[in-house]
């Protein structure tokens, strides 16, 4: 199955979720596996100056591709706008980015509410799973 089709399937599955817990449970099911390659771990926006095809890199995993996909980001933004009718598109995009990156606490993602504190949200889940599946050599890049 090609990557685009797989991403579309996951986004359709995510559309069925109505709570933060359901969204995050689905995200937890995305694969973060890599095949016999050294793993790159990094923090922040790091300019990784290596041939990434030779490494297990989070954005190359199934999970990383889905969470980084425009369709996924739009789905989250649409949910935030729907749950918060008074929020303009700019604010909805900002809240979406913050939720996906786990940067800020806010409520009313969906009618049942949502909280994000830096340890929740799609990238936090994907990152935890990615590290948990790491085996073998690791290369670390840390933002200054």
- Domain edges within the chain: 3-142
Label residue 140 by pLDDT band (50, 70, 90): confident
Average pLDDT for residues 31-50, to the nearest whole number? 75
Q: Name residue, tokens 């399937």.
A: 9
Amino acid 85: pLDDT: 83
For 25, 66, 119, the CA distances from 71, given in Å and listed in that order, are 18, 8, 23
Segment among 68-72, 84-88, 101-105, 134-138 with least mean pLDDT: 101-105
Q: What is the pLDDT of residue 110?
A: 45
Mean pLDDT for the stretch of residues 4-17: 84
Specify the pLDDT at position 115. 57
Q: Classify 69 in phi/psi space as left (phi over 0), alpha (psi -120 to 50) or beta.
A: beta
Alpha helices in the chain, H assignment, sequence order: 3-15, 20-28, 62-67, 70-83, 89-101, 122-132
Instruction: Give the pLDDT score at 7.
Output: 82
Q: What is the band of 73 on the pLDDT scale with cuts at 50, 70, 90?
A: very high
Residue matched to tokens 């929740």 = 120
Q: What phi and psi, each to the nearest 5 degrees, are found at residue 112?
A: -80, -10
Please report which helix (H) or strand (E) contains residue 39, including its range: strand 39-43
Q: Kindly report the pTM of this predicted structure.
A: 0.79
pLDDT score of 56 more than 60: yes
Q: What is the pLDDT of residue 50?
A: 67
Report the interhelical angle of 122-132 vs 20-28 (nearest 10°). Answer: 30
Average pLDDT over residues 25-48: 78
């Amino acid at each position: 199955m090609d990557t685009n089709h797989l991403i579309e399937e996951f986004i359709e599955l995510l559309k069925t979720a109505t709570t933060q817990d359901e969204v995050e449970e689905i995200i937890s099911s995305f694969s973060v596996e890599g095949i016999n390659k050294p793993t790159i771990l990094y923090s922040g926006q790091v300019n990784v100056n290596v041939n990434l095809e030779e490494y297990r890199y989070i954005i190359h995993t199934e999970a990383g591709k889905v969470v980084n996909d425009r369709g996924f980001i739009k789905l989250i933004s649409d949910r935030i706008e729907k749950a918060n009718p008074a929020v303009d598109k700019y604010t909805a995009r900002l809240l979406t980015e913050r939720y996906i990156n786990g940067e800020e606490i806010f409520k009313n993602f969906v009618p049942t509410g949502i909280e994000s504190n830096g340890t929740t949200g799609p990238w936090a889940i994907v990152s935890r799973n990615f590290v948990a599946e790491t085996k073998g050599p690791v290369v670390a890049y840390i933002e200054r």
